[in-house]
Structure 1
């Protein structure tokens, strides 16, 4: 019995060692490379440390930016092989880490994961790639100022790059600038073929609004025969719940609606329909309605009250006017509140508008 057991154990040991792939390294660091320098190549060497022929069945990569060449024929025991990897840094600025999965017929480690990593320095942008927009007669790197989300007590800055493609010095000034925005061109007199910037400061507290907002400023070139050019400044003003303490979060207000959707069947064009959305404060502190905003075709009144103590309710009256509308309708009303779990609630009005004497018109 002992002999049989030992024979089986030896057979299993020999079988396990039949094919075994051993790489010199499992990771290669390209370091810092330049995007404009093009493709980079590295090599992973391996050895068949088993007792029989080793075959790579296939290679898997985590990204199309890596290509791998490998031997298709079997590697005999004790022999070495090479994987050649090519990494393309085009359009991949910043740090990267890509994996290569090697599948073999090895009875041990049949799947091996290799890694390449590094940092790609983006290639300098050409003039055409940088100044792709027009602001009147001036070329710019963007067509608007977008601040994205701004806490309602914050001031934020952004810039826009300028290039003067004309043969004249341009005196740049601004008109109809709202009080919550400061804007200036540096330099204010931009020489021919020179670059400059527009600096914009946005004061959310002075704006005194919430949600998505848009301002329009006029850019004027005083010594150029051209019409004023509109520059739009966009932002989304929000509560900054990241500054709330755990105690404030625990005792936060919470908005809860009796319904979030109102569906009407069919309305004849020209008619209107109204509904109410009732909401309650199920939280522990005052609920403040920051803003209600209706999409095209709807009018939403302000809530019956804008500060709702815990346990109390309020209503929002909504009217949908079908004038000029036809076919399926889906309109929204956005309610912005100081609820950290539901800072924005989207309500919907849905239905179908038919055109008189034109059944089935869409």
Structure 2
């Protein structure tokens, strides 16, 4: 009986050991702090910099895939090499205060092969202006106006919830000003508020974003042009950029509806090409299975690198069925020895609408 008992013990132990190993094989990023206050400082300083220190407290290498900021005035720098378990690193963030007097609060988004895959860092402060009247608007000069910014970041927008953002401007001319807008995408509505701005007065360029009309998913970037009075056509330099992350709102779904919904499952949580030798393209295949109870719709597959392409065999997956995602890496197009990219898969799975799949490797 004792031999049989020991046999059962080892059978149970080896049955669960892969699960234990899988559960432990996870990187974790832990920051010393996630907020930094620069306090008050003079605009004449130009740029200010801080560092966010972190440690990989998980059991496998940490890969930071990208770090972005909520504004072009904020520039993050991050380590491109994997961070081993127990090792530390830092993210350097620089804020350009020139021409930006006043209080500021900026977000820095850190994407990594962790769960969750995104963390947010915050910087804030107060810029004291020098040699400016308190009523004057500071920002970007464009023809006869000064704009607070030429970028409108909508961040997350939902298909059933149009959103409105505006950017302020000042009329620096000696005449009443009425702006015109050209090359406006169909999903954007742009207008000036008020309709006419007096000399020296202030107004706003108001943009309404209709995500449903965009017929797109995920990260999207658009632009339109400003045509000033007296111009026969708008200059390509007088440009406003609009960015957004288009999503579907599942917040109103009940638990029962989520149970009956599609469910995306990948057979790999990371695609590791290992050492890539030579200049011939290499290919990896990822199986995507629908373990839900309704058809899984693949809305978009994208990546942010010209070194890599991602294609999918079908855009619709029935319950219990599997399709293939083909990832091709072309070594001829790389300028780095490190492959550190992501493939984004957007579906109608309400629990995991966006899957971020890390793709890593080393070019020899």
User: Which TM-score band (shorter chain)?
Assistant: 0.5 to 0.7
Match for residue 298 of structure 1 among 299, 308, 313: 308
* Structure 2 counterparts to residues 189-200 of structure 1, below 5 A: 189-200=196-207
**Structure 1 residue 170: Cα displacement:** 3.4
- The verdict on how the C-alpha distance between 1:128 and 1:220 changes in structure 2, with shifts beyond 3 A counting, is farther
**Aligned-residue offset at 1:262:** 2.0
Aligned pairs for 1:17-28 within 5 A? none
In structure 2, the residue matched to 1:236 is 245
Which residue of the other structure, out of 275, 293, 298, is the alignment partner of 1:266?
275
Considering only aligned residues, what root-mean-square deviation do their CA atoms show, in Å? 2.9
Q: CA offsets per residue over residues 299-323 of structure 1, 9 Å max, x none?
A: 111x222221211111111111122
Question: 1:135 touches 1:143 (CA, 8 Å); kept in 2?
Answer: no
Q: Which residue of 2 aligns with 1:344?
A: 354
Note if contact 2:258-2:351 (Cα within 8 Å) is conserved in structure 1.
no
Which residues of 2 match residues 1-362 of structure 1 at below 5 A?
131-134=137-140, 136-137=142-143, 138-223=145-230, 227-228=235-236, 229-268=238-277, 270-296=279-305, 297-301=307-311, 303-325=312-334, 326-354=336-364
Indicate the SS of the match to 1:323.
Answer: helix
In the alignment, the residues of structure 2 paired with residue 92 and residue 212 of structure 1 have an alpha-carbon distance, to the nearest angstrom, of 25
Instruction: Kindly indicate whether the alpha-carbon contact (under 8 Å) linking 2:150 and 2:239 is maintained by their aligned counterparts in 1.
Output: no
Residue segments in structure 1 that go unaligned for 5+ positions in a row: 1-89, 94-121, 355-362
Deviation beyond 4 Å, 4+ runs, structure 1: 90-93, 125-130
Deviations 1:295-348 (A, max 9, x none): 2121111x2222212111111111111224231111210111122221211112
Residue 48 of structure 2 is matched in structure 1 by: none
Aligned to 2:83: none
Structure with larger Rg: 1
Could you tell me the TM-score, scaled by structure 2's length? 0.58
Cα 1:135–1:187 shift into 2, 3 Å: farther
Equivalent residue pairs, number: 234
Q: 1:150 offset after TM fit, Å?
A: 1.5
Shift of the alpha carbon at 1:260? Answer: 2.4
For structure 2, the 5+ residue unaligned runs are 1-101, 106-125
Q: What is aligned with 1:75?
A: none
